[in-house]
A and B are shown apart, each in its own frame.
Chain A
């Protein structure tokens, strides 16, 4: 079992719809959770961080964390073609020299 798992996709949604991206992790002591967006040929960009159970909203993005189920998700409302990218889930553990454990990413395509 991979430490951080994501569906590779591609996930295809029409413009204006809600895109739902999911991530599960295996280590129960994980503490911090991040979503990064990576456009083709570019470096990753941090878009959301979440540290406690529940929802965290930032503009069109909502991150949801459920530590009991070891599950973190990202919702993108009113999806735009410019949201088309690979979304990477990353998880930290205490005492891991600040390393992040990365999922392989979910490719999202928003169709006009």
Chain B
């Protein structure tokens, strides 16, 4: 149980284009989904928290107009990186918190984004 999928697992895009990443909780409903970014050999950095049907809450320093988050249902959240630049190249990971949980988060496998 508690499986989270992410798609795509890796993507290469050209500078200036947009990329959408999907995160799905496969066998549970998620009250809250989270988006993280991780650079090589660095720690997880929370980008934003999203609740189904509400606007996402972004962490300080994260541009909400650049990283668009949509949480359309209790099992699906999407992150769109708009006008991507090489410095946006990173490992993007989503996690989901079960509806009946005690604040635990289950992570998707991550999406490796390379912007050329």
Contacts and interface: CB of A to CB of B under 8 A. Distances in A.
A106 B26 CA distance: 30
A32 B105 contact: no
Interface of A is mostly: strand
A98 B97 contact: yes
B43 A49 contact: no
A34 interface: yes
Contacts, number: 53
Interface residues of B, number: 23
Interface of B is mostly: strand
A102 interface: yes
Interface residues of A, number: 22
Interface in A89-111: 90, 92, 97-100, 102, 104-105
